[in-house]
Amino acid sequence: MHDPSTPACRIEMGLADTIQLAHGEGGRLMRQLIENRIAPLLSLDRSGLQSDAAVLGQLDGETVVTTDSFVVSPLFFPGGDIGSLAVHGTINDLAMAGATPTHLTLALILEEGFALQTLDRILNSIADAANHCGVSVVAGDTKVVPRGAADGIFINTTGIGVLQGDSRMRPDRIEASDQLIVSGPIGKHGLAVLSAREKFGFKPAPESDSAPLHQPAQDLRNQLDLDLHAMRDATRGGVAAVLHEWAEASGQTMWIDAAKVPVTANTHAIAELLGIDPLFVANEGTFLVAVHPDRCEAALDCLRSHSVSAQCCVIGHAQPRDVSAVLIRRGIGVDQPLDEPSGAMLPRIC
């Protein structure tokens, strides 16, 4: 063994501990990376490794698919990391479409020089999140680009699930008088990532809401059936983006009461300081529901029975189309239009 303090050894360790271009080129180093690091963590079996495709068997129902790339910066933040986020984000897209998530694929783009220890930490986080959600990672891909051609690691997850029931939730089914429910306090994810990236040092540090939503979503669907008109996780663009999508799809106006929108004291304080409206901030474990008014209480009861959505509440309703697609009642009872987010505020939050 070399003395670890000698420069020669440090250089050798450096090479052995980081991603090399050769890790992405189909040869021995790539095989070792997959067999020794990725496969054991993700419980991939050898047969899956020896083929570039995975046989899932006959799926019991209509197949639903979704894809998402994750480029979040920084890679680790209070409440999650790029690995857990890549699992939750894709599972939530399936859940919102009314599907039970069953399988994930995982594609990594790695920058030359990326620390293998950091990769292990992210893979562990992916494995934990996938296990917790009961989905299998069934196929993967690894590409390596030279230093400077990517920023550390980008992850794509594609999710496959099975549709529950026959009805398809579509925001064009939203009717005037439908109640709008949000599943919990908003704005946490975007502020957590932004604060971690900019090292603002807030105490307590804002924490992401990153979490899987398939269980409350399934329960809602089972219990409310056709009275559940739309469900959507409020990711990029936040609650405001969902309300605008729904207004456009349904031809109704979405009306919300600012005083009823749940925001934690910490989020409120930080958002005020930064001059950001939490309605425009991304969430990764919070969703909106549009439900027939007669079933609103049932929907709330159902959501309250899951810890991830225990703090749900009604924030407004749909109403016949006004001049404005989305209205918000602020302060002294005046309804104002709520802008559609145009973007550019918080890059790389997922």
Using CB under 8 A as the binding rule, the residues of this chain from 270 to 289 that contact its own copies are 282
168 binds its own copies (CB under 8 A): yes
144 binds its own copies (CB under 8 A): yes
Q: Give the integer Cα–Cα distance in Å for 183 and 262.
A: 9
Q: Give the integer Cα–Cα distance in Å for 329 and 343.
A: 23
30 binds its own copies (CB under 8 A): yes
Pattern of binders to its own copies over 173-212, x per CB under 8 A? Answer: ----------------------------------------
313 binds its own copies (CB under 8 A): no
Contact call for residues 247 and 300 (beta carbons, < 8 A): no
Residue closer to its own copies, measured from CB, 101 or 316: 101
Site residues for its own copies, 56-115, by CB under 8 A, read: 56-59, 61-71, 73, 93-94, 96-97, 99, 103, 105-109
Residue 122, token pair as written in the block: 């992210």
* Residue 198 exposure: Cα atoms within 13 Å on the Cβ side: 16
Q: According to CB under 8 A, which one of 19, 41, 75, 241 is a site residue for its own copies?
A: 241
Least Å distance, CB 249 to its own copies, is 6
Options 8-16, 20-28, 199-207, 328-336: segment touching its own copies (CB under 8 A): 20-28
Contact call for residues 26 and 144 (beta carbons, < 8 A): no
Number of residues that bind its own copies (CB under 8 A): 88
Q: According to CB under 8 A, which one of 83, 159, 185, 212 is a site residue for its own copies?
A: 159
Q: Give the integer Cα–Cα distance in Å for 66 and 319.
A: 31
235 binds its own copies (CB under 8 A): yes
Q: Give the integer Cα–Cα distance in Å for 54 and 302.
A: 36
Q: According to CB under 8 A, which one of 17, 25, 45, 294 is a site residue for its own copies?
A: 25
In terms of Cβ atoms closer than 10 Å to its own Cβ (0-12, 13-18, 19+), residue 55 is exposed
Q: Give the integer Cα–Cα distance in Å for 286 and 107.
A: 25
Q: According to CB under 8 A, which one of 79, 86, 118, 154 is a site residue for its own copies?
A: 154
Q: According to CB under 8 A, which one of 19, 129, 160, 288 is a site residue for its own copies?
A: 160
122 binds its own copies (CB under 8 A): no
Q: According to CB under 8 A, which one of 52, 265, 323, 334 is a site residue for its own copies?
A: 52
Contact call for residues 163 and 128 (beta carbons, < 8 A): no
Site residues for its own copies, 243-262, by CB under 8 A, read: 245, 249
Contact call for residues 154 and 350 (beta carbons, < 8 A): no
Instruction: Give the 3-state secondary structure of residue 116.
Output: helix
Least Å distance, CB 198 to its own copies, is 14
Q: According to CB under 8 A, which one of 9, 11, 149, 310 is a site residue for its own copies?
A: 149
Q: Give the integer Cα–Cα distance in Å for 36 and 330.
A: 56
β-pairing, 99-111 vs 136-145, is: parallel
16 binds its own copies (CB under 8 A): no
In terms of Cβ atoms closer than 10 Å to its own Cβ (0-12, 13-18, 19+), residue 2 is exposed
Least Å distance, CB 126 to its own copies, is 14
Cβ within 8 Å of residue 179, ≥6 positions away: 290, 291, 292, 293, 296, 299, 314, 316, 317
Least Å distance, CB 158 to its own copies, is 4
Least Å distance, CB 1 to its own copies, is 24
